[in-house]
Structure 1
Amino acid sequence: MPIRYLIKQLIMPPGILFLLLIAAWWLRRSWPRLATLCFVLGLGGLWLMSLPVVVEQAARQLESEPALASSQWAGLAQQADAIVILGAGRERGDPAWDSQDQPTGVAMERMRYAAQLAKASGLPVLTSGGLHYGTPPSEAQLMADSLQRDLGVSVRWKEERSRTTWENAQMSAELLQPLGIKRVVVVTQAWHMQRSRWSFEQAGFVVVPAPVGFLGRDHARPFGGWLPEGKSLWQSGQLLNEAVGLLGYKLFY
C-alpha cells in the first residue's frame, strides 16, 4: 500500500507538476528547450490548479446529481430502506480529543447532512469505511461514534473493511442485501456522487443520491476567482483524482 500510494502521488497532479519543475532545473543546461517546456507545463499547471474559477468549472462537470430539497427529506422513507454514509478519511491522533483519531472535516460534512436526513425520514443508518493502513478503529466506527456523540443519531450497521468506493458498495451489499435492503440513500460529496452511485448500482442497489459539499458554485471569490488560493490546489487534486477514478472504474470494473 505505501508504494502504491507513493506512485499515485507522483503521477497525479500536483506531484507530476513538481516533477516537471525538477526536470526543468535538471535539464536547463543540456536540453534548454525541453527544460523550458517542462517549466512552463509545471508552473502553468500549478497556477491553473490554484485558481478557484478552475475548481468551479471542473466541479460542474462531475457534480451531475442535484441536491435533495429539504421538502424531500421526510419522504425518503418511501424511496429507500437505509442511509449509507461513505467514509472520507480521518485526522490522526488529534490532541484536542485526547490524541484519538477523528473523522475529517469532509466526513463531518457528510455526517451532519446524513443526520438531518435520518432524523427527518426515520431511516436507519450504515457507515462505511475500513482501517487506515490496518490500524483500528475503522472509519465506520469513528463516524458511528461521532454521529451518536455529536449529532444524536444511532448507527445500525458498520461496514468496516472497505478501502475504496467500489468496496464501499460491494461490502455494504454484503451487509444489507441479505436483510432485504436494496434501496439506499447514498451520502457523499457532490463531486464524488457519480462514481458512488455507479458503484452502488453495480452492487445491486437502487440509489437515491444525497450529494453534499458542492464545489461547482460561485463562492464569491475576489476578482471572480482568478487569484490563486492554496485551498483550490487541494480541491483541484481531489477533482482530478475523482475524474481519473470515474474513468478507471468504468474501464476495469
Structure 2
Amino acid sequence: MSFVAWSMVLAAVALGSCWVAGSGVWDVRFPGGSSRTSSIFAARNAIVLLSAGVDRWKQDAPFSATTDGMSRIEHAAAAYASCKANGRVCNVIISGGDPEGHGIADAELYAEQIVTLGVEQADVVLEARSNTTYENAKYVEPLLRSGRYDVVVLVTSAYHMRRAEIAFDRVGLHVIPDAAQAERAEFSVIPRRHNFYLARRALHEWGGIVQLRLFDWAGIP
C-alpha cells in the first residue's frame, strides 16, 4: 500500500474515532452496584465513600465537592439513613487525600458536607492519605479490619465502580457495590464537547482496570 493510501486510512480512522467519542455512541451502562435495600445491613456496617475530587466555581470561593463527588455524598448519606433506621451500628468511612495539592484532603471536605445531610459526626471516619483508587482500598483496608464490620457497602459513581471493586478485591475485601448516578453521554450526530470529556473519563477508567489486571498478572502487590 502506498504512502498516500496509508495516510488516507489513518485519517479515516482518526476522524472515525473522533466522531465515535464526540457522538456518544460509545456509551454503555457501566457495571454498577445492586440497589440499596435495608436488608443488606447487619449488626455492624461500614459505608465506604470514595471521593471524586474537589473544585471551586469562582476564583475566591471555597473548595467544595465536584458534581460527581456531591452525588456520591448524597448517595452515601441515604445509605446511612437506611442503615440507621433499625438502630444498627453504621459508620461512613470517607476515603480521599489531596492529589492536586489544594491544601485540604477530599475526605475532610466531604465530611463537612455529609454531616449537613444528617450523618452523625461521631459515625464519620476519615482516610485522608489516598490519591488513587488502589490507595483508597489499601488505606481503608486496616480501618475495615479493625472495625470488624459485618457488611461493607462501597459507594462511588457507576462509571468508577468496576475499577473500585477490583481494587478492593486485590486487598482481600468483599464489598457490596452501591453506585451513585453520574452523567452519561448523550448521542448526537454532531459531536458534542461534553461527550469528549465523558469519553476521556471512560478511557481513564478502562486504563485503570487494565493496569490493575496487569499488576495481578505480574504479581505486583
TM-score strictly above 0.5:
yes
Alpha-carbon contact 1:118-1:125 (below 8 Å) kept: yes
Aligned counterpart in structure 2 of residue 176 of structure 1, from 119, 137, 144: 144
| TM-score normalised by L of structure 2 | 0.82
Shift in CA distance, 85/240, structure 1 to aligned 2, threshold 3 Å: same
1:113 paired with 2:75, answer yes
Return the structure number with greater relative CO, CA threshold 8 A, min gap 6.
2
**Is 2:99 the counterpart of 1:132?**
yes
Q: Is the 8 A contact 2:19 2:191 kept in 1?
A: yes
Partner Cα distance (2:35, 2:43) in 1: 13
Shifted more, 80-89 versus 151-160: the winner is 151-160
Shift of 1:135: 3.7
Instruction: Report the Cα offset of residue 196 of structure 1.
Output: 0.9
| Residues 20-43 of structure 1 deviation map (CA, whole Å, 9 limit, x = unaligned) | xxxxxxxxxxx6545434433332
> In structure 2, which of residues 14, 20, 24 is the aligned counterpart of residue 52 of structure 1?
24
Percentage of pairs with the same residue:
27
Q: Give the structure 1 partner of residue 211 of structure 2.
A: 248
Deviation at residue 82 of structure 1 after TM alignment? 0.6
Alpha-carbon distance in 2 for matches of 1:195, 1:89: 17
Return the structure number with greater helix share: 1
2:120 pairs with 154, 159, 178, which one? 154
CA-atom RMSD in angstroms: 2.5
The CA deviation at 1:80 is: 6.3
Q: Which residue of 2 aligns with 1:238?
A: 201
Residue type of the alignment partner of 1:146:
Q
1:21-170 to structure 2, matched below 5 A, reads: 32-55=4-27, 59-60=28-29, 63-69=30-36, 72=37, 74-78=38-42, 81-91=45-55, 93-95=56-58, 99-122=61-84, 123-149=90-116, 151-154=117-120, 156-170=124-138
The TM-score with structure 1 as length reference comes to: 0.72
Give, as a single letter, the amino acid of the residue that structure 2 aligns with 1:162.
Answer: S
- Asked if the contact 1:141/1:158 (under 8 Å) is kept, the reply is yes
Paired with 1:209 and 1:164, the residues of 2 have a C-alpha distance of: 18
Measure the CA separation in 2 of the matches of 1:75 and 1:197.
21
Which sections of structure 2, spanning at least 5 residues, go unmatched?
Answer: 85-89, 217-221
